[in-house]
């Protein structure tokens, strides 16, 4: 295979994508210092690694093992929970074409979110993006069991990070608390197969250049590498895995909420390896009916209109995934 010039990127300086230790986030002085670091980075880079996050190695390994085990199932078994327009279930290769991309992504995804029942009031009312998960309990009973403890830990972590971001932006620590009592919390298991010659000829990415739709992404990536970020100079740089860390980034919804103060940065994924790449992003988004109002963070003229979190994400989904186009 060639050097894949269409996906070339420079090595990363960790000044460009900083590593922030949040182990002291529960202390008074530590919280204030971490809040300052997070906001500075979110305003200038939009991407950062976090270490000292407190999520156990056991939970991380358990989630990765469940993901690999699930994707190795036959397509006939995975398709028993084929993805729906509520963005729950398994999506096969070829169903994601991100806005502006030349071709579809070469990845498979399992989508899930905050656990709700069919008789949940929000489900009955048709609130956007709120719907029961599709778990493959008949063919893969391990998935729910092994994945949800990790998911719950990440949501808890995101609440701490968002509390610090709120404080660093001059808001009370609990600014986001109510919106995250029943968050959307959209999770994905992502499988990136090794590239084929056809993928190279089509200049196909594992995930084409894009910005994330929501508020805050907490990404667990394996040690294969492949994540690339567009820096402030308009150059693609590698965001290599750092053992024991997460990669976090600001999404479009938080850029919108802060009236452009925080930066949602474009990124992409290319798997150059001869083996599969796995990642687990959790898009830590607020409750669907949360009103995203730029005036809450800025006195400047508003660049964006108000919208609810669920409406925004549902609209973005409809522009990027084929199950919406085939309704």
* 242-277 per-position pLDDT tens digit: 999 999 999 999 999 999 999 999 999 988 888 899
The confidence score (pLDDT) of residue 85 equals: 86
Distance between CA atoms of residues 246 and 244, nearest Å: 7
What's the predicted TM-score (pTM) here?
0.92
Please name the residues in contact with 86: beta carbons below 8 A apart, sequence gap of 6 or more. 129, 131
Please name the residues in contact with 277: beta carbons below 8 A apart, sequence gap of 6 or more. 191, 192, 206, 221, 222, 224, 226, 269, 271
Distance between CA atoms of residues 219 and 48, nearest Å: 10
* Strand locations in the chain (E): 19-21, 47-51, 89-91, 108-112, 186-192, 207-210, 216-221, 227-230, 236-238, 246-250, 267-269, 277-284, 291-292, 307-308
* 179-227 per-position pLDDT tens digit: 999 999 999 999 998 877 776 666 777 788 899 999 999 999 999 888 9
Distance between CA atoms of residues 196 and 273, nearest Å: 11
The confidence score (pLDDT) of residue 315 equals: 87
Three-state DSSP class for 130? coil
Distances (CA, A) of 78 to 82, 91, 143: 7, 9, 12
Number of alpha helices (DSSP H) and beta strands (DSSP E) in the chain: 9, 14
The confidence score (pLDDT) of residue 36 equals: 97
Three-state DSSP class for 296? helix
Distance between CA atoms of residues 231 and 323, nearest Å: 32
Three-state DSSP class for 317? helix
Q: Which CATH architecture has domain 5-325?
A: Sandwich (2.60)
Contact 288, 122 (CB under 8 A): yes
**Spatial strand order in the sheet of 236-238:** 207-210, 267-269, 227-230, 236-238
The confidence score (pLDDT) of residue 122 equals: 96
What residues of the chain score a pLDDT lower than 50?
1-2
Residues present in the chain in total:
327
Distance between CA atoms of residues 108 and 189, nearest Å: 8
Distance between CA atoms of residues 129 and 137, nearest Å: 22
Q: What are phi and psi for residue 31, nearest 5 degrees?
A: -60, -45
The confidence score (pLDDT) of residue 2 equals: 45
Maximum CA extent, the chain: 54
Burial of 72 (0-12, 13-18, 19+ CB in 10 A): exposed
């Amino acid at each position: 295979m060639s050097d894949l010039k269409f996906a070339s990127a420079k090595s990363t300086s960790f000044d460009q994508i900083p590593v922030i230790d949040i182990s002291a986030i529960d202390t008074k002085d530590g919280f204030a210092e971490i809040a300052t670091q997070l906001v500075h980075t979110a305003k200038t880079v939009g991407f950062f690694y976090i270490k000292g996050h407190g999520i156990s190695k056991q939970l991380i390994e358990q989630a990765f093992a469940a993901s690999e085990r699930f994707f190795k199932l036959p397509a006939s078994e995975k398709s028993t929970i084929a993805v729906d327009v509520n963005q729950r279930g398994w999506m096969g290769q070829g169903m994601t074409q991100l806005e502006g991309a030349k071709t579809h992504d070469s990845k498979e995804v399992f989508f899930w979110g905050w656990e709700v029942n069919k008789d949940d009031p929000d489900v009955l009312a048709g609130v956007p993006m709120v719907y029961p998960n599709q778990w493959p309990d008949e063919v893969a009973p391990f998935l729910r069991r092994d994945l949800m403890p990790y998911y719950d830990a990440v949501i808890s972590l995101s609440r701490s990070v968002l509390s610090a971001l709120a404080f660093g932006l001059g808001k009370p620590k609990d600014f986001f608390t109510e919106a995250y009592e029943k968050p959307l919390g959209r999770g994905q298991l992502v499988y990136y197969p090794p590239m084929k010659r056809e993928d190279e000829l089509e200049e196909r990415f594992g995930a084409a250049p894009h910005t994330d739709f929501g508020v805050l992404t907490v990404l667990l990536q394996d040690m294969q590498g492949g994540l690339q970020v567009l820096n402030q100079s308009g150059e693609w740089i590698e965001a290599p895995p750092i053992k024991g860390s997460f990669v976090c980034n600001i999404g479009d919804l938080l850029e919108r909420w802060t009236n452009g103060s925080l930066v949602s940065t474009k990124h992409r994924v290319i798997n150059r390896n001869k083996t599969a790449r796995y990642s687990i992003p959790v898009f830590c988004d607020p409750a669907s009916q949360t009103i995203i109002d730029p005036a809450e963070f800025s006195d400047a003229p508003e660049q964006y209109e108000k919208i609810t979190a669920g409406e925004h994400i549902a609209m973005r989904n409809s522009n990027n995934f084929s199950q919406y186009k085939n309704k």
